[in-house]
Amino acid sequence: MANALDDRSLAFEEWGDPKGVPVFSLHGTPGSRFSRHYDEGLYVEAGVRVITYDRPGYGVSDRNPGRRVVDCVEDVATLADVLEIGRFAVLGGSGGGPHALAVAARLPERVERATCAVGIVPYETEGFDWFDGMDPKNVEEFQWALEGEAVLVANLEREAAEALARVAVDPSKVIGDEFELPESDRAELARPERHDVIRQSVSESIGKGVWGWVDDDLAFIRPWGFDVSEIRVPTRVIYGTTDVLVPRGHGEWLAQNVPGAEVVIEDSHGHIPDPESILEMYRWLARPS
């Protein structure tokens, strides 16, 4: 489809109950429109119609160089218009979290509910140690971003090639062994049911280039273009206490700074939710406001 604003192409998919509550699920970093739960029946059970899309630069969506986090708002609004969806819920996990918060902040007339799961804090937040508790490999990635696009591109191209090679052999290794992930994350990645989705999503998200990944990372360390204090719709903030990709401090800050946030602290989880948690996320989003 074409974005009516600037003729960019955006690719999307739909999952679950076509008559269910519309939920835009915004993928992580990197990710794609194929980033989803492996059992579509879970969406049907929750009563939701899930819409996923490739952020610009990922998959077959055209790149939007220099995009800010807030720029996703127009893309989501355009997709909703094309699909003739008036009001909807929005969910963002990990790198999708800031984007979901942007949609909640800037489309209050259309967003019923919003969830930010294991999402990050704006990089230049005063008095906040952004890297505290973050795995050294993740810190290294953002340091490349801080050095500029050329450095980031060169390193992410290498990282992408290595990830594609790992996933071809063992999808559970999509996040390399160099990361000190908690046992809960390794257990979720080891689920055989996840592996076909991991292969499909990784192939789509970075198999055609790294520009979406690059532009996400650059957007995260620059001003986002909105403030979380603008949010006025019912919003959940979810974080895991053992998360080393987006440390708990980020979740704690969002819990304190997103107005009226309902906070869910996952004491037994790191970065990757289990199926029961995912079902509960969608059930909450499907509730009437």
pLDDT tens sequence across 118-151:
999 999 999 999 999 999 999 999 999 999 999 9
For residue 186, CA distances in Å to 117, 194, 201, 261 come to 18, 12, 18, 29
Q: What CA–CA distance (Å, rounded) separates 213 from 60?
A: 13
173 in Cβ contact with 166 (< 8 Å): yes
One-letter identity of residue 26: L
> What's the confidence (pLDDT) of residue 268?
87
> What pLDDT shows up at residue 3?
58
101 domain-assigned = yes
In a domain, 55, yes or no: yes
Rounded CA gap, 153 and 266, in Å?
34
Residue 113 resides in a domain? yes
Model confidence pTM above 0.85: yes
For the chain, how long is the longest CA-to-CA vector?
Answer: 47
pLDDT tens, position by position, 181-239:
999 999 999 999 999 999 999 999 999 999 999 999 999 999 999 999 999 999 999 99
For the chain, what percent of residues have pLDDT higher than 70? 98
Residue 4 lies in a domain: no
**Does the pLDDT of residue 271 top 80, yes or no?**
yes
CATH of the domain at 36: 3.40.50.1820
Digit-coded pLDDT (tens) for 90-103: 999 999 999 999 99
One-letter amino acid of 12: F
| Helical spans, DSSP H, in 207-257 | 211-221, 248-257
Amino acid identity at 126: E
Q: Please state the separation of Cα 123 from the chain's center in Å.
A: 16
pLDDT for 1 equals 60
Based on the structure, what is the number of domains in the chain?
1
* pLDDT at res. 250: 98
Q: Which two tokens stand for residue 147?
A: 């050095």
Is a pLDDT exceeding 60 seen at residue 27? Answer: yes
Can you name the residues that pair with 89 across neighbouring β-strands?
23
> Each residue of 45-75: pLDDT tens digit?
999 999 999 999 999 999 999 999 999 999 9
Residue 224 lies in a domain: yes
- The answer as to whether 5 is a domain residue is no
Note down the domain range covering 46: 12-286
